[in-house]
């Protein structure tokens, strides 16, 4: 179980299983996969220029659904160069989930789940998980992985311009490197849907990159002030990447005090979280 796996080498091996799964799923040799990862950026630009000529929604949707090369950009995060960055964020998210799961059943939505690796890890950490992404080659791979690893994970498909989510359903919404791929005219609708899908004391954990350049044409948003958009949807920043319902009153105050604990080193973090466990109902129930 992930919840008992604290060895960094074991964590690296667990994340590298994504590469091994793609090897099994695609039938390609590992050497060819690593070569494709190393050269994927130019091929992604070529795919984008061939498929996205007017930046219409259906063209962008076709790119993400059919590009033969975009998967390798995602897989690059699970190579030895990319794993340390993934581990930093995944450890914090999983520590949060493990803590909440001690007292209650935790419902999590991964918005833009890609290969499904974080969904798998959150499921193994004790959460009830919903995976959400566009229908296409990458989500097909994720669904295959869930079946391979015996993970009971619900699947919800998004459109390129909107997503329909059940309201007040999730304790945590996690999104890693997704918002920068949205068109500006659709962003507010997506954020509103994510906000409405949260329970009253829910949290959103967002990772995103606002930079746009010709080397990375899939980053089409280029938005520098995300907080103002989230605030309009009722979400307030309470940590480096964590947001909560702005009208939560004491929940937001307590969350501001508690959220830094999840980036503290062990064993101090574990000790403080145990001491705070009796207050759990005050800020997440």
Mean pLDDT of 206-233: 78
Quote the pLDDT of residue 236: 83
pLDDT 10s digits, 123-180: 999 999 999 999 999 999 999 999 999 999 999 999 999 999 999 999 999 999 898 8
Q: What is the DSSP string of 53-84?
A: SS--HHHHHHHHHH-SSHHHHHHGGGSTTTHH
Mean pLDDT of 115-127: 95
Quote the pLDDT of residue 8: 52
Task: Determine contact, residues 146/113, Cβ cutoff 8 Å.
Answer: no
Q: What rounded mean pLDDT belongs to the chain?
A: 83
Which value, in Å, is the radius of gyration of the alpha carbons in the chain?
A: 19
pLDDT 10s digits, 73-91: 999 988 877 777 778 788 8
Dist. CA 165–CA 208, nearest whole Å = 21
Q: What is the value of pTM for the model shown?
A: 0.83
CATH 3.40.50.150 boundaries in the chain: 87-284
Region of poorest pLDDT, from 45-49, 185-189, 196-200, 232-236: 232-236
Preceding omega of 282 cis (within 30 degrees of 0): no
Chain center to CA of 197: 15
Mean pLDDT of 34-42: 94
Instruction: Work out the burial of residue 244: count CB atoms within 10 Å of its CB; fewer than 13 is exposed, 13-18 middle, 19 or more buried.
Output: buried
We find that the CATH architecture of domain 87-284 is: 3-Layer(aba) Sandwich (3.40)
Q: Where are the beta strands (DSSP E) in 135-222?
A: 154-158, 170-176, 198-207
What strands, in cross-sheet order, belong to the sheet with 235-237? 154-158, 128-134, 107-111, 170-176, 198-207, 242-245, 235-237
Task: Quickly list H helices, 149-225.
Answer: 184-197
Q: Which residue has the higher pLDDT, 132 or 236?
A: 132
pLDDT 10s digits, 251-265: 556 555 655 655 556
Query: Which residue's structure tokens are 């160069």?
Result: 81
What's the token pair of residue 93?
Answer: 């998210």
């Amino acid at each position: 179980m992930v919840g008992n796996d604290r060895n960094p080498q074991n964590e690296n091996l667990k994340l590298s299983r994504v590469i091994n799964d793609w090897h099994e799923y695609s039938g390609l040799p590992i050497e060819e996969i690593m070569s494709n990862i190393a050269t994927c950026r130019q091929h992604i630009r070529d795919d984008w220029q061939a498929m996205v000529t007017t930046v219409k929604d259906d063209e962008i949707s076709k790119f993400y659904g059919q590009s033969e090369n975009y998967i390798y950009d995602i897989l690059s995060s699970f190579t030895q160069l990319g794993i340390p960055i993934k581990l930093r964020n995944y450890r914090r998210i999983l520590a949060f989930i493990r803590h909440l799961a001690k007292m209650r059943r935790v419902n999590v939505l991964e918005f833009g789940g890609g290969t499904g690796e974080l969904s798998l890890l959150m499921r193994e950490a004790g959460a009830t998980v919903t995976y959400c992404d566009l229908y296409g080659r990458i989500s097909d791979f994720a669904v295959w992985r869930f079946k391979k690893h015996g993970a009971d994970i619900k699947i919800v498909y998004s459109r390129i311009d909107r997503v329909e989510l059940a309201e007040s359903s999730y304790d945590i919404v996690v999104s890693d490197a997704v918002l920068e791929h949205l068109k500006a005219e659709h962003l507010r609708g997506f954020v509103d849907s994510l906000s409405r899908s949260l329970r009253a004391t829910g949290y959103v954990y967002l990772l995103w990159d606002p930079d746009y350049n010709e080397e990375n044409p899939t980053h089409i948003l280029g938005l520098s002030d995300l907080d103002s958009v989230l605030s309009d949807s009722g979400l307030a920043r309470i940590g480096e990447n964590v947001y909560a319902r702005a009208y939560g009153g004491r929940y937001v105050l307590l969350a501001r005090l508690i959220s830094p604990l999840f980036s503290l080193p062990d064993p101090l973090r574990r000790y403080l979280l145990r001491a705070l466990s009796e207050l759990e109902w005050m800020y997440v129930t």
